[in-house]
Copies of this chain bind each other. A is one copy, B any other.
Amino acid sequence: MEDSSPRSGRSTFVWLVGASQLVGLASVVLTGVWMGHYRGGFAWDGSPQEFNLHPLCMVLGLVFLQGDAILVYRIFRSESKRNVKMLHGIIHFLALVISIVGFVAVFDFHRAAKIPDMYSLHSWCGMATMILFCVQWVMGLVFFLFPVASSWIRALYLPIHVFCGLVLLVMAVGTSLLGITEKLLFSIMPTYSKFVPEGVLANTLGILLVVFGVLLGYLITREEYRRPPNPEEEALSVHFKTLTEGGSPSTP
């Protein structure tokens, strides 16, 4: 019974957020250890070490930071909406920059090593995720950070933006798992089935990414963790309702 009280709900929330951050950071560290220790470290010279920046940037930018950029709406539920929006946009901008570095790294490595681009399912899913991520970021900027669209269009777009954000996070996790599988089969196919440490480490990374996605999905979608509506949102909602029902809005 205790579990349903608000205080207990809030304490569960804190534990879940803590767990998500621990799992997310562990994923970034494991990716660094995998590429740094087992795959020869990092460079920016067209060598396989340049490729190694790709998984690290993608897990850090498109998974961990993207997840946290969404989570700020749940963590800072009592802060001003404007400040939380700014933080959401800034973390997403960081995620975008880091993932573009990771994106360039793999194409640059392919060019130097004369490896064809865009033939694998990982690359198809990754490209779709990157394009959708850029579109989502620009749309977010236009609609919410520097809103140029009218209130009712913003209200209409908000649930689509939220849904696409979650889809993007799931696609980023899924594409990472495809990348892990590809990298393992390209690098250690003869020994992978012997449970060598590199394979077990990379599989564990994959499972951690899944756990991160599930924790974030739960925290984001759980009704009781949602941001309570504030007067600004109420006004927008009334405005939208009045417009769609054909009357004239009571507020501009």
Q: Which residues of A contact B (CB under 8 A)?
A: 1, 3-5, 115-116, 119-122, 124-125, 128, 156, 159, 163, 166-167, 170-171, 173-174, 177-178, 180-182, 184-186, 189, 192-195, 199, 202-203, 206-207, 210, 214, 217-218, 221-223, 243-244
| With A156-B4, A193-B116, A244-B1 as contacts: A181 and B221 at CB distance below 8 Å | no
Sample of 12 further A-B pairs with CB below 8 A, known A124-B206, A182-B185: A1-B243, A1-B244, A3-B156, A5-B244, A115-B193, A120-B193, A120-B203, A121-B207, A124-B207, A163-B222, A167-B217, A185-B189
Contact A218 B180 (CB under 8 A): no
Residue in B115, B128, B210, B221 whose beta carbon sits within 8 Å of that of A125 in the complex: B210
Number of copies: 2
Among A159, A163, A174, A221, the one with the most B-chain Cβ atoms within 10 Å of its Cβ is A174
